Amino acid sequence: MRINFSFCQITLAIALFLNPLPAIVAQTTTSGEMVSPTTGINYTRLKNFLAQQNWRQANDETRNLMLKATGRELQGWFTMEDLQKLACWDLQKMDQLWKEASGGRFSFSTQFRIFIETGNRPGRLVAIENFQTFGDRIGWRKDGDWIIFKENLNYTLNAPVGHLPAPRDEYQIAGGRLEYTTLAQRLVTCNIVSLDQRQTAITAINSLE
């Protein structure tokens, strides 16, 4: 399949490749806080869906919260520029709630570990085969192609590790590779992933220089 990227996408991809990862310190969340001091968004609804193990509603709510946090509710989709500005507190809270509710099976930081293990790099586009392998590992691809979101996701704890949350657009080209790579970079700059994971990612990126 031939993939055509817009000029803006190509320009941003080049910028992500050339610019080093910035060191941003996130505002630390605590388990009792449900309202973001940055955006004013309340995360109680997401917490309740997750506590009920209502994974589908929790996944939908996560996407809605990300759209709200980036000011993209009316548009209903993200740009890479939006994801780069996603508030650290909000992203950390979503990750924390998913991780706690699933016993670490689902969360952005769980996905990040697999993203790195499969040869991908936050903020850097590498071989597309690496991202396809990532999709295979977390169950976003089946029979050699990206599944159609969101009806074909597995909303149970039997889903592959890292399968959820899955906030990408339903018919996104190449599994949303550019957007997910940007989100992975945000996890690093917001210090949401572990120190070892960040160091592994930075070391791997430096090896590409």
Mean pLDDT, all residues of the chain: 83
> pTM of the prediction?
0.80
pLDDT tens string for the chain (209 positions)? 444 444 444 444 444 444 444 434 445 666 578 999 999 999 999 999 999 999 999 999 999 999 999 998 888 888 889 899 999 999 999 999 999 999 999 999 999 999 999 999 999 999 999 999 999 999 999 999 998 877 889 999 999 999 999 987 766 666 789 899 999 999 999 999 975 665 665 565 555 44
**Three-class secondary structure assignment of the chain:** CCCCCCHHHHHHHHHHHHCCCCCCCCCCCCCCCCECCCCCCECHHHHHHHHCCCHHHHHHHHHHHHHHHCCCCCCCCCCHHHHHCCCHHHHHHHHHHHHHHHCCCCCHHHHHHHHHHCCCECCECCCHHHHHHHHHHHCCEECCEECCCCCCCCCCCCCCCCCCCCCCCCCCHHHHHHHHHHHHHHHHHCCCCCHHHHHHHHHHHHCCC
Question: What are the domain boundaries of the chain?
Answer: 43-206
pLDDT of residue 15: 43
pLDDT of residue 77: 86
CA–CA gap between residue 101 and residue 53 (Å, rounded): 7
CA–CA gap between residue 104 and residue 110 (Å, rounded): 7
pLDDT of residue 204: 53
